[in-house]
Amino acid sequence: MWKEFREFAARGNVIDLAVGVIIGAAFGKIVTSFVNDVVMPPIGMLLGRVDFRSLFIALNGQTYASIADAQKAGAPTINYGVFLNTILEFLIIAFVVFLLVRQINRLKEPPPTAPEQPVRDCPYCVSRIPAAARRCPHCTSDLGATRA
């Protein structure tokens, strides 16, 4: 098992994975900042000066001025504003990953196609068949004597 792990690590898969995780974490922070600091403030302004991070419901029925006040009082809260921000972050990251994968797929070379084999027409049913065929796959006629 140790030998297999060394071979796996030596192929570069572990390094590639580590780089991907690090870049993904950094990209996640950028998207979080973009959502919290650039996208949500104008949306909040359009909706009547709403700060989405401060939207919550206190489950104990009390009213609190902020999430921090509710948490200080030990009240259970549903922080749906933070959840909305997180959903928007996810959608942005998913869209960027989609665009990235789409572009990578465009850059890949198409798989090689099989060389086209010579064909001929069956003298009995006039279907296209391989030139080397001895029996027509369509009408099952014996073509041994009628090679073209």
Structure confidence at residue 34 as a pLDDT band (50, 70, 90)? confident
Q: Judge whether 23 lies within some domain.
A: yes
Q: Judge whether 40 lies within some domain.
A: yes
Domain span at residue 88 reads 2-107
The pLDDT value given to residue 12: 66
Whether residue 100 sits in one domain with residue 131: no
How many domains does the chain divide into? Answer: 2
Structure confidence at residue 40 as a pLDDT band (50, 70, 90)? confident
Whether residue 75 sits in one domain with residue 14: yes
Average pLDDT over every residue of 30-44: 85
Q: Judge whether 124 lies within some domain.
A: yes
Whether residue 70 sits in one domain with residue 21: yes
**CATH code of the domain in which 82 resides:** 1.10.1200.120
Q: Which residue has the higher pLDDT, 136 or 115?
A: 136
Whether residue 127 sits in one domain with residue 62: no
Whether residue 137 sits in one domain with residue 75: no
The pLDDT value given to residue 75: 92
Rounded Cα gap, residues 101 and 104, in angstroms: 5
SS3 (DSSP) at 132: coil
Q: Which residue has the higher pLDDT, 25 or 2?
A: 25
Q: Judge whether 112 lies within some domain.
A: no
Whether residue 38 sits in one domain with residue 74: yes
Whether residue 126 sits in one domain with residue 97: no
Q: Which residue has the higher pLDDT, 116 or 75?
A: 75
Whether residue 122 sits in one domain with residue 56: no
Whether residue 144 sits in one domain with residue 89: no
Tokens for 141? 């006629």
Q: Tell me the percentage of the chain whose pLDDT exceeds 90.
A: 15
Q: Which residue has the higher pLDDT, 25 or 108?
A: 25
Whether residue 77 sits in one domain with residue 135: no
Contact 85, 40 (CB under 8 A): yes
The pTM (predicted TM-score) of the whole model is 0.55
Structure confidence at residue 148 as a pLDDT band (50, 70, 90)? very low
